[in-house]
Homo-oligomer: A and B are copies of this chain.
Amino acid sequence: MVPFAKREVGLAGKRADARRNEATLLDAAAAAFVASGVDAPVRDIAARAGVGVGTIYRHFPTRADLIVAVYRHQIEACAAAGPDLLAASDSPRTALARWIDLFVDFLVTKHGLAEALRSDDAAFETLHAAFLDRLLPVCAALLDAGGIRSVDAYQLLRAVGNLCIGAGSDARYDARRMVGILVAGLP
């Protein structure tokens, strides 16, 4: 028996101070993301954590890795909610609508996340992948359960993500509403 072994993937087998720094960095990054959005300057995050910028890049080679690490649990929760909603809702269509609502809530409450998600910058590839790996199958299952064949899950997630861009910084624009209209209008 190996106590705590591999409980947190990135933390196993490292020196104690390295593990401490990684945890501190995750906290600092989460705080910085709340305060300044996911575009928070690397130096700010490093300063919050009380480490040098080199330490960030050692633990998280790209910004996307850091973002994924911070939000991994929420991505997971969103993915897990899919089957639950399908079981609990009156119709698959309702389940889809509710699940999309969860996804939208997630995106609009993280400033800049929707923007980062759709960036075609190669550095954000792993962020893109992390979302698609977990959420695409869930979305596909919901579409399938609802008998919706007119769009594939990728396009729908992409469209919803796009609609969420800038949602937090423009009082005249209500992303939730436009997403609702889109989903309701799916043929």
Interface residues of A (CB under 8 A from B): 118, 120, 150-151, 154-155, 158-159, 162-163, 165-166, 169-170, 172-174, 177-178, 181-182, 184-187
Check B186–A170 contact: CB distance below 8 A: no
- Smallest Cβ distance from A187 to chain B, in angstroms? 7
Of B155, B166, B187, the residue contacting A118 (CB under 8 A) is: B166
Q: Is the CB of B154 within 8 A of A172?
A: yes
Bound-state Cα–Cα, A184 to B179, Å: 13
Query: What is the bound-complex CA distance between A154 and B158, given in angstroms?
Result: 21
Contacts of A169 in B (CB 8 A): 120
Question: How distant is the Cα of A151 from the Cα of B138 in the complex, in angstroms?
Answer: 30
The 6 closest A-B pairs by CB, nearest first: A185-B185, A159-B178, A162-B162, A182-B182, A120-B169, A158-B173
Contacts of A118 in B (CB 8 A): 165-166
How many Å lie between the Cα of A150 and that of B181 in the bound state?
10
Write the nearest CB–CB distance from A144 to chain B, whole angstroms: 18
Q: A158-B172, A181-B185 are in contact. List 7 more A-B contacts (CB 8 A).
A: A151-B178, A154-B172, A158-B166, A181-B182, A181-B186, A182-B182, A184-B185
